[in-house]
């Protein structure tokens, strides 16, 4: 499977570090210690290769559907006030991404990026409710051609220390187009209009670009 571009530098550095450590072990201790070091390092490097995998997916385009922006598990479905941009009552749907999930993020709807803001913050565990407002995060709002707006947030977790976002205000988006990447365990929050019909349940596993999170009627 192809490796995502965000993993190239990390994987190269890890390979150099592992190689240097193994060389030092072989030089100072010997072959047996080298074999042990290789047995310990190989599974970790394979895990990193798997983490940065880049599956090729084809989204089923739908004007009214909100596709999942990531792989993971639904951990929150509730009505909340969204004070940052939408400034109205919304339905929040949150998806927790474990280290075993693909960590690419995709645009859930087509339209135009009308808001983009990075927030520095803490690194609470991603399933902690306070992580939505306290953790490092990036907020993006997209407006559909019919005027419907949704907001979604990439949220760093306890292990995730870098949120990568390709969105820029004013740019056009395609449903299922790659939007960013979060490194090592994280969460994505969606804020949807109250007239949305939610198509997922708490605890459900979802797949980015493939699972329909909600349906929002056109205006």
Any idea what the Cα angle at residue 174 is, between residues 168 and 176, rounded to 5°? 105
Q: Please report which helix (H) or strand (E) contains residue 133, including its range.
A: helix 131-134
Give the C-alpha separation, 113 to 173, whole Å: 7
**What is the pLDDT averaged over residues 13-32?**
88
Half-sphere exposure for 122 (CA within 13 Å, toward CB)? 10
Most confident stretch, 21-25, 128-132, 192-196: 192-196
Cβ neighbours of residue 66 closer than 8 Å, sequence gap 6 or more: 108, 109, 150, 190, 192, 196, 212, 213, 214, 215, 216
Structure-token pair, residue 87: 């400034």
Spatial neighbors of 193 by CB under 8 A, at least 6 apart, are 90, 91, 148, 149, 150, 216
Question: Cα-flanking dihedrals φ and ψ of residue 132, to 5°?
Answer: -60, -30
Question: Among residues 38, 173, 18, which one has the least CA distance to residue 107?
Answer: 173
**Contact of 53 with 2, CB cutoff 8 Å:** yes
Q: Strand ranges (DSSP E) for the chain? A: 65-67, 72-82, 88-97, 104-106, 111-119, 137-143, 149-156, 163-165, 172-173, 178-182, 186-192, 197-198, 205-206, 212-215
pLDDT, tens digit (0-9, with 9 covering 90-100), for 173-205: 999 999 999 876 688 999 999 999 999 999 999
Catalytic site includes residue 186: yes
Q: How far is residue 211's CA from residue 175's CA, in Å, rounded to a whole number?
A: 12
Q: What percent of the chain has pLDDT over 70?
A: 89
Residue among 65, 68, 94, 186 flagged as catalytic: 186
pLDDT, tens digit, for every residue of 141-175? 999 999 999 999 998 865 545 788 999 999 999 99
pLDDT, tens digit, 9 for 90 and up, residues 27-37: 888 888 888 88
Residue 55 C-alpha from the chain's centroid: 14
pLDDT, residue 140, reads: 97
């Amino acid at each position: 499977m192809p490796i995502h571009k965000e993993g190239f530098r990390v994987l190269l550095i890890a390979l150099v570090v592992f190689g240097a450590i193994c060389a030092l072990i072989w030089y100072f201790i010997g072959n047996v210690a080298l074999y042990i070091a290789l047995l310990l390092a190989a599974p970790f490097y394979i895990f990193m290769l798997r983490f940065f995998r880049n599956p090729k997916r084809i989204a089923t385009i739908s004007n009214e559907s909100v596709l999942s922006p990531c792989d993971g598990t639904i951990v929150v479905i509730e009505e909340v006030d969204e004070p940052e941009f939408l400034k109205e009552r919304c339905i929040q749907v949150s998806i927790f991404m474990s280290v075993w999930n693909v960590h690419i993020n995709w645009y859930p709807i087509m339209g135009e990026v009308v808001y983009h803001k990075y927030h520095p913050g803490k690194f609470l565990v991603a399933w902690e409710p306070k992580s939505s407002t306290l953790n490092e995060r990036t907020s993006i709002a997209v407006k559909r051609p019919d005027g419907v707006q949704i907001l979604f947030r990439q949220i760093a977790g306890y292990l995730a220390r870098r949120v990568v976002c390709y969105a820029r205000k004013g740019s056009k988006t395609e449903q299922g187009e790659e939007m960013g990447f979060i490194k090592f365990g994280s969460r994505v929050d969606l804020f949807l209009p109250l007239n949305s019909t939610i198509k997922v349940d708490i605890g459900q596993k979802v797949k980015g670009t493939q699972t329909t999170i909600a349906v929002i009627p056109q205006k």
